[in-house]
Amino acid sequence: MRILSGIQPSGTLHLGNYFGMMKPALELQEKGEAFYFIANYHSMTSLFDPVERCKNTLDVALDFLACGLDPKKTVFFRQSDVPEVTELSWLLSTVTPMGMLERATSYKDKIARGIAPMHGLFAYPVLMAADILIYDSNVVPVGRDQKQHLEMTRDIAIKFNEQYGQTFVIPEPQIRDEVAVVPGTDGQKMSKSYGNTIEIFGDEKATRKKIMGIVMDSRTPAEPKPDADKNLAIQLLKLVAPAEVAKDFENRLRAGGLGYGDLKKALFENYWNYFADARKKRAELVANPDYVNKVLCDGALKARTKAREVLKRARKASGLE
């Protein structure tokens, strides 16, 4: 079974990225042959600073390795080290209906937020389909916001197979319900673009301040809170604290008597402990950039071998060779 996923180097990774995508992806390393990549081509649709792209790419590599990506088990690479994917993207674009791309909610959302419409942004789902199909991927672990992209990938693969004969494996998304949408410090979906993130490897003081600054309602500590399970800090605590600890805080909040300040303090402490080992590992990796680069280069070599094989199949099927 081939497992594949990608993440854009468009900013600093946060708890939404970690629990929505990275953690499920890391667990799947044990279940099959995993291919994980840093989607730097995709980041060109929203980030226009080359120095920043390069730095973010290294940061994503460090974050993933620190969080447990094992390069002995998993092929880990930069998207742009396999340029074959852009050729496949062209082939796929010729079977992709305009209407499908026009219905893409991520495109519509980005335009609504004021990003200038450009062809790359419009064609984003086609390149993503190429990323997935070029490695004969079976399972794609992602957060819920990527569901529509996965549906498009499947439709595009089916269309190509119908047009040119059986060429591509049809992939399945894997979306974990319990972490489908991790809320940010304002209660909306946690996202780099909303300025509401808690970073995986945030600075201690700054992150404590962010967490202590989460706005709660004005009920007094003594008041019972029957809606304790909806409390933002409780929801986040459930992710980073042992289940019985989170449950205990939830019960105390429900019963009344637990102040929001104490709850947020517990959230910070559990967050800080949760990533303690990864933080140590990351510091070691930072001191060893040659190792990180070698992992990415070795990964690209392996990924490219597979990509060439599948691209050749698609070129043959469509009469290009």
Pick between residue 6 and residue 184 the one whose CB is nearest to ligand TRP.
6
DSSP codes joined into one string, 245-270: HHHHHHHHHHHS---HHHHHHHHHHH
Q: How far apart are CA 259 and CA 149, in angstroms?
A: 42
CA trace torsion 302, 308, 313, 316 (10° rounding): -170
Nearest to 42 by CA among 56, 26, 28, 31: 56
Determine, following the binding rule CB under 6 A, whether residue 148 of this chain makes contact with ligand ADP.
no
Residue 189 interacting with ligand ADP (CB under 6 A): yes
Binds ligand TRP (CB under 6 A): choice among 131, 207, 234, 270: 131
> CA-to-CA distance for 229 and 213, rounded, in angstroms?
20
C-beta closer to ligand TRP: residue 6 or 202: 6
CB of 17 closer than 8 Å to CB of 200: yes
Q: Report the residue number, 99 or 195, with the smaller CB distance to ligand ADP.
A: 195
- Residue selected from 2, 3, 20, 306 as contacting ligand ADP according to rule CB under 6 A: 20
Q: Which of 149, 192, 225, 304 binds ligand ADP (CB under 6 A)?
A: 192
92 to 111: interface string for ligand ADP, x by CB under 6 A: --------------------
Sign of torsion over alpha carbons 82, 201, 175, 191 = negative
Q: How far is the CB of 74 from ligand TRP (least distance, A)?
A: 14
Binding residue for ligand TRP, selected from 2, 3, 8, 9, defined by CB under 6 A: 8
190 binds ligand TRP (CB under 6 A): no
Tell me: does residue 15 bind ligand TRP (CB under 6 A). no
We find the least distance from the C-beta atom of residue 15 to ligand ADP, in angstroms, to be: 8
What residues are paired with 78 via a beta bridge?
38
Residue nearest to ligand TRP (CB): 6
Query: By CB under 6 A, is residue 42 in contact with ligand TRP?
Result: yes
- Report the distance separating Cα 113 and Cα 217, nearest Å: 28
Site for ligand ADP contains 17 (CB under 6 A) = yes
| Amino acid (1-letter code) at residue 166 | Q
